[in-house]
Amino acid sequence: MGLTVLGIRVVVLNVLSSSMRSAIVVGIGLFIAFIGLQNAGIVTAAPSLVTLNAAELLSVDSAVFWTGFTTILVLKMRRVPCSILIGIATAAIVAWACGRIRIDRVFGWPEFTQHTVLQLDFRAAFTLSGLSYVAVFLFMDIFDTTGTLIGVSQQAGLMKDGRVPRMREAMLADSVGTVAGACVGTSTVTSYIESAAGVEQGGRTGLTALTTAVLFLVAIGFSPLIVSLGAYSPVASPALVVVGAMMFRAVRSIDWADETEGIPAFLLILAIPIFFSIADGIALAMIVWPLLKIVSGRTAEVPRASIVIAVTVIIYFAAIRVHI
């Protein structure tokens, strides 16, 4: 939160060129589409990274995925509202009919097995090992949030002159959520790239966020149903692939004619899904982009902050990340 108040997180965002911002959108789109195909079982791990999972192409899981995927595409082409939600519901019905989802109850409250509010171990956090993990999570949160806000904002058409309006306020809201979530013992409360699915359906204002918050509260009473659906990943996988495809159109905004922009952009797009990390993909680009500018004799185009960030990232990987 302190980094946000001091404006350091905004500096990280502002040093990114227009091509890098577009590459983040494309890389995240490719990333979530890859996750969707992986969750559906369409691709599987192999010595060559991944391969087509031919053995599962005629499986029930595959049928559920393609049913949802086709439904979303057909409705989207026909400009039917809520096409993604309808596609997910259709896939869920097929999965239930095929016995992949078992729904014993629809209504009910989640089971709380232990008390987690304010269960913080500051003593462990300030050990050498603890500080290493703090540094890793700090790094990932800064870069993941930066990538997510850029990706969702560009998808929503909110970018102005290549920048996210009121970025400081957005970062502060994210920071407050992260700290508050940690204090009450939840998984990280932060900006999620899955928001792109809501943007694709027209959600572009704060009212969308408030509506989502209210629906999350209502959803607590449907915990048994949500747990049943969430446990079967092929149901939501089609939505990830479709949203990923929609985000990929940002590739046209990258200056491919300029190699000092195109090469880092390509590496960023490639690295995010391969590293399975938005933060690591952006970090790679933050090193390569200023390096190529400098060796090309275009030092004037490189902000000093960009050089500082590149050196910091290199130190982070060399001194901290390799030991985690």
Chain segment 102-133, per-residue pLDDT in tens: 887 888 777 766 677 777 777 776 776 666 66
pLDDT score of 194 more than 60 = yes
pLDDT band, residue 135 (cuts 50/70/90) = low
User: In the prediction, which pLDDT does 199 show?
Assistant: 77
pLDDT score of 173 more than 60 = yes
**Mean pLDDT calculated for residue range 298-309:** 84
CA dihedral 270, 274, 279, 283 (to 10 degrees): -50
Looking at residue 318, the DSSP 8-state letter turns out to be: I
What six digits make up the tokens of 39?
């969750």
**Mean pLDDT calculated for residue range 45-72:** 84
Percent of residues, the chain, with pLDDT higher than 70 = 87
Q: Return the axis-axis angle of helices 304-315 and 278-295, rounded to nearest 10°.
A: 130
Lowest mean pLDDT among 47-56, 83-92, 133-142: 133-142
Q: Are 56 and 65 in contact (CB under 8 A)?
A: no
- Give the whole-angstrom CA distance, residue 188 versus residue 198: 20
Q: What is the pTM of this model?
A: 0.74
- Within the chain, strands assigned E span 43-46, 49-52
* Higher local confidence (pLDDT), 67 or 227: 67
Q: How many CB atoms lie within 10 A of CB 314?
A: 13
Q: Return the axis-axis angle of helices 60-77 and 237-247, rounded to nearest 10°.
A: 40
* Higher local confidence (pLDDT), 39 or 153: 39
pLDDT band, residue 40 (cuts 50/70/90) = confident
User: In the prediction, which pLDDT does 129 show?
Assistant: 62
- Give the whole-angstrom CA distance, residue 58 versus residue 201: 31
Most confident of 72-86, 101-115, 166-180: 72-86
Q: Among 200, 196, 195, which Cα is nearest to 83's?
A: 200
pLDDT score of 156 more than 90 = no
pLDDT band, residue 149 (cuts 50/70/90) = confident
Instruction: Identify the three-state secondary structure at position 44.
Output: strand
Q: How many CB atoms lie within 10 A of CB 142?
A: 22
pLDDT score of 6 more than 60 = no
300 to each of 8, 62, 288, how far by Cα in Å? 22, 52, 16
Model confidence pLDDT, tens digit, residues 259-278: 888 999 999 888 888 888 88
- Give the whole-angstrom CA distance, residue 80 versus residue 75: 5
CB-based contacts of 141: which residues, under 8 Å, 6+ apart? 178, 188, 190, 279
User: Quick one: how far is CA 74 from the chain centroid?
Assistant: 26
Q: Is the dihedral of CA 311, 162, 152, 69 positive or negative?
A: negative
What six digits make up the tokens of 307?
């050089």
Q: What is the rounded average pLDDT for all residues in the chain?
A: 80
User: In the prediction, which pLDDT does 323 show?
Assistant: 61
What six digits make up the tokens of 181?
């979530």
Q: Return the axis-axis angle of helices 18-39 and 128-155, rounded to nearest 10°.
A: 100
* Higher local confidence (pLDDT), 245 or 11: 245
Lowest mean pLDDT among 59-63, 127-131, 162-166, 293-297: 127-131
User: In the prediction, which pLDDT does 95 show?
Assistant: 92
207 pairs with which residues across the strands?
none
Most confident of 45-54, 164-173, 284-293: 284-293
CB-based contacts of 268: which residues, under 8 Å, 6+ apart? 20, 23, 24, 27, 281, 282, 284, 285
Based on its alpha-carbon atoms, the radius of gyration of the chain, rounded to whole angstroms, reads: 21
User: In the prediction, which pLDDT does 324 show?
Assistant: 61
User: In the prediction, which pLDDT does 91 show?
Assistant: 93
* Higher local confidence (pLDDT), 52 or 136: 52
pLDDT band, residue 229 (cuts 50/70/90) = confident
Q: Are 247 and 29 in contact (CB under 8 A)?
A: yes
User: In the prediction, which pLDDT does 239 show?
Assistant: 86
Q: Are 211 and 205 in contact (CB under 8 A)?
A: no
Q: Are 196 and 202 in contact (CB under 8 A)?
A: no
- Give the whole-angstrom CA distance, residue 88 versus residue 114: 32
**Mean pLDDT calculated for residue range 9-23:** 74
Residue with tokens 């309006």: 165
